[in-house]
Structure 1
Amino acid sequence: MTLHMVILYCCAAAVVVPGTKIIQAEAGGRRVSPVELLRILWRRPVPWAAVAVIAAMAVMAVVQTVAPSVMDHLQREPGAPWWRAVTALLVQTSGWPQLTFNLAAAVVVAPVAQRLLGPVLMPLVFLLSGVAAQAVSMAGWSVTGGGDSVALCGLVGALAVARTPRAATPAARLLPLLVPFAGLLLCALSNNHGVGVLTGCAIGAVAVLVAPGRQPRPWESRDRRASAPATAPRP
């Protein structure tokens, strides 16, 4: 295994591990089964913006499976028009492994992102992070291909930055900082996922500055109730 591959795997871990911690925090720190975690993530009120993103991904997965030639008209490629930076998010050019992984990641990341970022900012982060990464790739980093994992990386980046000021312990505040650091390393390797990560981090940082007093996160509400002193019953 080359040093390049080792660094890529380390960067992937630096994004996935903090992202997993943020998702697991939705269960209030409890160890739960994957089925129970999904039930918690998709509890009411239903995160409809997340539903829309995942539905679009699923529809395009069917379309490219039934008509593979659609990828030739949507993916980024040498000499392609600028709008391919948008349409390249719609196709997964590495086939079913990429389709399966990205859909599974979206199912757990998108609802958490909507609950923490809101129904408007979440899809905006997804779109801007993905388009930025595709545009940089078209400029020379990787001129052929497509996929929305770069947009999902943007959601993780935004979550990591938005989550950090709310973390309860120093360790919990430090762990999400691995995400932008991984983004910088990926950019140094000309990997477009780094652009997605850093774009999401930047938008998340702006969101924190603009709305520092946003409502408490779901796990914070539970933590406050659990730590609140019991009141004595009235006589």
Structure 2
Amino acid sequence: MVVAMNMAVETEKAQALLQTFSTASVVASTGLGVFCFLADRFLQLPLIQNHIWLRAAADNAVHAAIALWSWAIVIGLRKKSDLYEVALAGFLASVIDLDHFYLAGSLSLKAALNLPHRPPLHCSTLIPALCLSLRLLMWACRLKDSWCFLPWMLFISLASHHVRDGARHGLWVCPLGNTAPVPYWLYVAITATLPHLCSVLMYLTGTRDVISTKHGIAIDV
């Protein structure tokens, strides 16, 4: 009896994991890759490039759109509260760029875009450190399981932002320095597959089971 129950549980988990790569989620991630390509082409238009504020705002909006799209693939959109989570993921990816102004010590956009080196939140080594720190903080504060998605959302928001910046400037890996720019095709491929990687990691850490209960039986778009 116990063996049969364990097999049933494992079978259910395997089915849930396979649904991470369902047709709908694969289509959604393919659409995300296409969006990355089209958005970058849009940002190259003279109308955008010739206006510093418009260029910065549009670039930041693309960061936000990629993160919210990625998180939507991870959790699916089944109820109104899911939209709030997706919006939060986009906000986190967008707010990262405020560290430009912090390092510049000024609200001047020109100063923020002409820094001697990259601002602190653009250090890719911080991604696992920040996500793990948030997880430990949640454990210390005894937050409910319904909040267990936050470290993974932060991972998606930070990673998608850094990979996109990496296509232009490389990744800043402290204390080793900067890598060469990420090939454009690789940036698009990583961005499109990042939600699936996140889902698999959530499954391996047991987070997926909790979030599946919160969002519905399957986690996909």
TM value normalised by structure 2: 0.31
| Higher relative contact order (Cα pairs below 8 Å, separated by 6+ residues) | 2
